[in-house]
Amino acid sequence: MTFEPILPWWAFLLLAGLTLVLRMYTLYRVLVVVGKGSQRKVVVRWSLLTLVIVCLFAAAVRPGIEADQQRANQPAAEVAADSNVNVFFVVDRSLNSRAEDFGNNQFRMAGIRADMQSIVDQYPDGRFAITSFATKPRVDWPLSDDIWSLRALLKDYSAYESDFDSVYQVDVGAAADPLKRQLELAAQQYPGSNNLVFYLGEGAGVSKQAATTFDVPAELVAGGAVLGYGTTTGGRVASRLGDNGELTYFPDPAGGGGEFLSVLDEASLRTVAEQLHVPYFHRGLGDSTSTIIPPLEPNSSTAVEQEVSLPGNRTEFYWIFTAIAMLLMFYELFAMAREYRVSRMTGARGT
């Protein structure tokens, strides 16, 4: 039996302890209010609702049984590698991503969104994670194979709302530490899988913040790419959308009545590519992602004969606990409706 919780264990223990305290306090308050003749019924109802919570906690840790590892020869391992892939997106969501110099005066974020969606389509059986950044990193999507929900997230994925001064504080390497932790965890959790890293951004050319270095061991990255968006001449950055749909733009801080232009910094992006051990590509409107999808290396951990756990062979048991919780909630709703009806009837007789 193995577990793949949706939250870290310490968070589960904290929530479980807090829930236990609240449930015990609730039981105490109810027993104080009701008479002795009704205490048994109250304890039964309290126990059933508590069991619902326990079942939800049990479902959230995702218990299951892993399939036995099997000996795979090279062709079989290559097939497994196509689906046993962890794709890590590192996305610049600073104000620079709202510059209008991508394709036909579109936001750079439009190109970032399109490429992310296309890469997801390339690995329909893969696992995906998204770490975004501006001045600080944030995990927008922990590593998961829930592609259906991921597509919904990417549909409206956009740049952060922030003050103009934030463009001077963007750290192109802000995601270095969380990315390294995720890569190491994926290597432990999914042995034999390939980690692909796709960094999507602009390089933050006007930033005054010293860039954090990506200290990622080469063996943790099987491929990927750094993708650059925008132009070296720069694009103006929208500040807000008016009620009439009209955009306003950030003015040039140097004065003169002009508009601020966010410039693509390819030198910074090439440095990031070297640190991540992946190539750099400049992206334009309509560019295919087929040219940036890395081929499986012959000496990859999944491309040689070895013991591998093929994805999709894990038997999940969370649905059992959710089904029990649902049945208990149906009973609770039935009991509430019955009590309401009895109360109404009693009130009618009293009048």
163-199 pLDDT, tens digit each? 888 889 999 999 999 999 999 999 999 988 999 999 9
Q: Give which of 128, 81, 65 is closest to 310, Cα–Cα.
A: 81
Name the residue ranges covered by the structural domains of the chain.
2-66+314-350, 70-308
Question: Helix (H, G, I), strand (E, B), or coil: what is residue 99?
Answer: strand
Name the least confident of 11-15, 208-212, 218-222.
11-15
Q: Is the predicted pLDDT of residue 343 greater than 80, yes or no? A: no
Quote the pLDDT of residue 79. Answer: 46
- Segment 114-164, tens digit of pLDDT: 999 999 999 988 999 999 999 999 999 999 999 999 999 999 899 988 888
- Segment 12-33, tens digit of pLDDT: 788 888 988 888 888 887 777 7
Q: Classify residue 210 by burial, with Cβ atoms within 10 Å: 0-12, 13-18, 19+.
A: exposed
- Segment 271-303, tens digit of pLDDT: 999 999 999 999 999 899 888 988 755 444 444
Tell me the pLDDT band of 245, cut-offs 50, 70 and 90.
low
Q: Is the predicted pLDDT of residue 304 greater than 50, yes or no? A: no
Looking at domain 70-308, does it have CATH number 3.90.230.10? no
Euclidean distance between CA atoms 173 and 214, whole angstroms: 6
The label of the residue with tokens 């009693």 reads: 346
CB-based contacts of 313: which residues, under 8 Å, 6+ apart? 66, 67
